[in-house]
Chain A
């Protein structure tokens, strides 16, 4: 990670007895794209508001380039912000909206027009300067809000669920545009969302929040592959979550008896005593379905209980040992590769794809 631009040191925010943000520490490096990901009420938006200066922390420090900004009002923090509702000024044209932050910075004359034109071109909205926000579609308003936050080249860009109001297709389109703009301009970005797909697609690093705490921070790949807790595993992507009992641990190989199910062979360093209850997870796309028995560990006989066709992929519900149902996701490779409901199949999984949580 490059030099740190924003540093949160044990930041807390309480409202009366409610703890909104609890002792959060986080670093955002220069040029980095960091996402705060969590369910609603996890404290991610409050954290953003603390950094913007709309809220004051009840504990901890917020540093920008090593300097405390806690006492500084939002207008003195050199921050760009995109709101979920866009917050475009309804009585100003697109041009006046985008020019507004320049005017508060006493930029005048042809320089204003030049920079507004530049940024409108960058968000592919040139030529719409004379329109009013109400004459624009949701996606266009989104672009203008982005242009308005970028035009004064703030040192930090904050985005609070900026794509929340858009439909799925437009959201994916805007995601790639935001990402390429961010990379092009090299602007440090802190992004808030509850959408894990969005977080995975956009971020250099993700901080997963729950109940006011940052649970885990890391690259999308690291979080997806090595979730620190069952919550992270379940929140980032889909998992099968099972209860189990440790049967045997030897040289990194663990045998776990699934409650009401088969025995799983997994890898793990944890020195867990036999008989201890654990939770096991495996992602649906890491389970394989086949019609013939294979001589591999974790090969279980099962029966297809449910088939849901999603187009590019198929989701199965597979019952193992008549008690445990596992969700399995397979890419769709043609009608002859589909398994039918009620079909007897073999379910296999690699030991390294299982995760164990005490």
Chain B
């Protein structure tokens, strides 16, 4: 009974459109007949396949960057007192409460050829020519990693905090120094959290649109951007739908696989 409203909402604004999308993707042959025509047009085009691969590549790099940056932050978070914890947590969560457009334009101000960062580096004589930090994959990765970092920090932090401190005490009394305690106890027991963080970041990164569009310009086309072009400019709804379905299937496979291997509860516990 209590989940009723949520079910109705999910059904009308999520499941129904999804079903329509599925139907659209399957009725997209050249002659409008039922079949896998749209999927064939998508997966047999080297251009679109290149976009798909780039989308995966960027998502993977973003995931890796996020995990590498998140682990030390989470580690510190799991070890500090409550005041320091709250201060760091505000900084971790603050980006989540800021509009993604605002943040992306802020990155543009920072990263462009005459931007804050390049001017600073030139003034310090670190570089002569401005670094190309925008309108390429580097810029997209920087922007996406910042947005997705909290989603990496929280699960890793949760898994680190859940490690029984007596395990460290036990390892210590048995003669393990700090490095060995980290390698033998902390790291392996936090890996499920790291995997959960990786899943959360990767799945979200697959569908990013605004950041690649603004920071990548016309050079870094991702699948979400192609889908937008198909719908808005070319009105090819069935091709767009087939691309969306492919992304959905990849996501579902990853989530189900993760649940089978480690259990989805690792994402928030």
Contact = CB atoms under 8 A, between A and B. Distances in A.
Contacts of A149: 174
A52 B189 CA distance: 25
Nearest to B175: A104
Interface in B11-27: none
Interface residues of B, number: 17
Contact of B173 (A74, A90, A105): A74
B188 A83 contact: no
Interface in A70-113: 73-81, 83, 85, 87-91, 100-101, 104-105
Given A74-B173, A81-B173, A148-B174, A100 B184 contact: yes
A54 interface: yes
Contacts of A191: none
B185 interface: yes
A85 B164 contact: yes
A89 B185 contact: yes
Nearest to B177: A75
A83 B166 contact: yes
Nearest to B170: A87
B221 to A, nearest CB: 43
B193 to A, nearest CB: 13
A152 interface: yes
A52 B167 CA distance: 15
Contacts of A88: 170
B10 to A, nearest CB: 36
B116 interface: no
B114 interface: no
B176 A54 contact: no
B160 to A, nearest CB: 14
Contact of A75 (B164, B172, B184): B172
B169 interface: yes
B180 interface: yes
Nearest to A54: B169
B171 interface: yes
B140 to A, nearest CB: 37
A83 B169 contact: yes
B17 to A, nearest CB: 43
Secondary structure dominating the interface of B? helix
A79 B171 CA distance: 11
A105 B180 CA distance: 12
Nearest to B178: A75
Contacts of B166: 83, 85, 87
A148 B175 CA distance: 12
Interface string A191-219: 00000000000000000000000000000
B189 A90 contact: yes
A38 B59 CA distance: 59
A152 B169 contact: no
Contact of A87 (B167, B180, B184): B167
Query: Which one of A54, A75, A79 has the greatest number of beta carbons of chain B within 10 Å?
Result: A75
B173 A91 contact: no
B173 A89 contact: no
B173 A104 contact: no
Contacts of B188: 91
B23 to A, nearest CB: 47
A298 B189 CA distance: 67
Interface in B189-220: 189
Contacts of A158: 173
B175 A73 contact: no
A100 B171 contact: yes
A149 B169 CA distance: 13
A40 B147 CA distance: 49
A75 B189 contact: no
Nearest to B191: A91
Contacts of B185: 89
A91 B171 CA distance: 13
Interface string B103-138: 000000000000000000000000000000000000
Contacts of B176: 75, 100, 104
A78 to B, nearest CB: 8
B174 A152 contact: yes
Interface string A314-351: 00000000000000000000000000000000000000
A74 B172 contact: yes
A79 B174 CA distance: 7
A100 B174 contact: yes
B195 to A, nearest CB: 14
B185 to A, nearest CB: 7
A138 B114 CA distance: 66
A152 B175 CA distance: 10
Contact of B174 (A85, A91, A104): A104
A52 B170 CA distance: 11
Nearest to A77: B173
A74 B174 CA distance: 8
Contacts of B189: 90-91
Nearest to B176: A104
Contacts of B184: 89, 100
Interface string A140-177: 00000000110010000010000000000000000000
A211 to B, nearest CB: 25
Contacts of B174: 75, 80-81, 100-101, 104, 148-149, 152
A78 B174 CA distance: 8
A89 B167 contact: yes
15 contacts: A54-B172, A73-B172, A74-B169, A75-B172, A77-B173, A78-B175, A83-B166, A83-B169, A87-B164, A89-B184, A91-B189, A100-B171, A100-B184, A101-B175, A104-B176
Interface of B: 164, 166-167, 169-177, 180, 184-185, 188-189
Question: Lowest 8 A-B CB distances belong to which pairs?
Answer: A101-B174, A87-B170, A104-B175, A87-B166, A81-B173, A74-B172, A104-B176, A74-B173
